[in-house]
């Protein structure tokens, strides 16, 4: 993680030009982190661990492990995180949500992580299984800000929270969404990681609005290399993320050409990161979808060689 004070870092990000990288310029090697999701089958577990082993030599800042809707993957998440602690050199960040559990149950999970040596938590409100409207557990943490405060009472965790450059789909307004982000950070979170976005302008505008709202903590961009445009559009629809028309044009006619799609995806994602670097961003969180090939190639394009 950067050692620059958060306010200075964010002001540096926002005072920079909104420009593409200059031809021939070589930005500094960025800091990176990865997200994985826990496997549901033995075959998927094999795929996950092949991905982890492939990316481990890149020495990311941390790796996060997701938590299913309603805590549906709690035990698989816990098992994956503990195996990361035991068998790898990686620093795991465990996702933890408010949904479907009492405060005591959530606190118990947090204590289990702390006792196992896990110091980083990604604290989220979470979603109800099946897409039902969110309802807080009557004896649980109502929102992510409450969860952050509760985790800080359990132990001195390093806490990341979610941010939404294009506004959370259930937020009353963009301003209300920013207010919610500020509450999470004020409750003790150390940084925010954004929902995936494909248009860098949305992220840069979000940083402007965040600073104007008094938010000075680091806001790490969440980057998803996507070689399947249909998948990108589906992800966008679920999370309220816009998918630019030019992206569809890049993949047009490549439905039966997966190798070319991978090359296009690597180029598109590397260019997205380069543009953000030209605007002063130096840390990125990659959503790997438990597939290492694209993320590894992009990291190498960006100069990340790790160990």
Residues with catalytic function: 35
Looking at residue 288, the DSSP 8-state letter turns out to be -
CA dihedral 122, 170, 130, 113 (to 10 degrees): 10
CA nearest neighbour of 135 among 103, 100, 166, 181: 100
DSSP states of 28-41: PPPEEEEEE---SS
Looking at residue 57, the DSSP 8-state letter turns out to be G
Euclidean distance between CA atoms 64 and 62, whole angstroms: 7
**In this structure, are residues 304 and 56 in contact, taking their beta carbons and an 8 Å threshold?**
no
Residue 59, phi-psi category: left (phi > 0), alpha (psi -120 to 50), beta (remainder): left
**In this structure, are residues 295 and 225 in contact, taking their beta carbons and an 8 Å threshold?**
yes
């Amino acid at each position: 993680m950067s050692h620059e004070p958060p306010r200075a870092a964010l002001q540096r990000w926002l005072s920079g030009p909104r420009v593409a990288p200059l031809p021939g310029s070589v930005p500094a090697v960025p800091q990176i982190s990865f997200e994985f999701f826990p496997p549901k089958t033995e075959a998927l577990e094999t795929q996950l661990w092949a991905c982890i082993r492939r990316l481990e030599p890149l020495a990311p800042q941390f790796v996060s492990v997701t938590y299913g809707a309603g805590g549906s993957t709690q035990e698989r998440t816990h098992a994956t995180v503990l195996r990361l602690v035991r068998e790898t050199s990686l620093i795991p960040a465990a996702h933890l949500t408010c949904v479907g559990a009492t405060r005591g149950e959530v606190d118990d999970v947090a204590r289990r992580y702390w006792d196992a040596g896990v110091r980083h938590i990604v604290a989220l409100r979470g979603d109800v299984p099946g897409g039902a409207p969110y309802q807080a557990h009557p004896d649980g943490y109502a929102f992510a800000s409450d969860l952050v405060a509760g985790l800080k009472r359990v132990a001195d965790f390093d806490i990341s929270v979610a941010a939404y450059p294009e506004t959370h789909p259930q937020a009353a307004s963009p301003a209300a969404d920013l207010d919610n982000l500020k509450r999470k950070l004020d409750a003790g979170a150390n940084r925010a990681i954004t929902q995936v976005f494909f248009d860098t302008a949305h992220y840069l505008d979000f940083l402007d609005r965040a600073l104007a709202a008094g938010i000075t903590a680091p806001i790490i961009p969440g980057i998803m290399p996507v070689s399947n445009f249909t998948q990108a559009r589906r992800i966008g629809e679920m999370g309220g993320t816009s998918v630019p028309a030019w992206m569809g044009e890049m993949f047009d006619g490549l439905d039966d050409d997966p190798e070319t799609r991978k090359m296009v995806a690597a180029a598109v994602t590397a260019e997205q990161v380069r543009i953000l670097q030209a605007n002063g961003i130096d840390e990125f969180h990659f959503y790997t979808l438990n597939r290492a090939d694209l993320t590894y190639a992009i990291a190498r394009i960006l100069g990340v060689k790790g160990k």
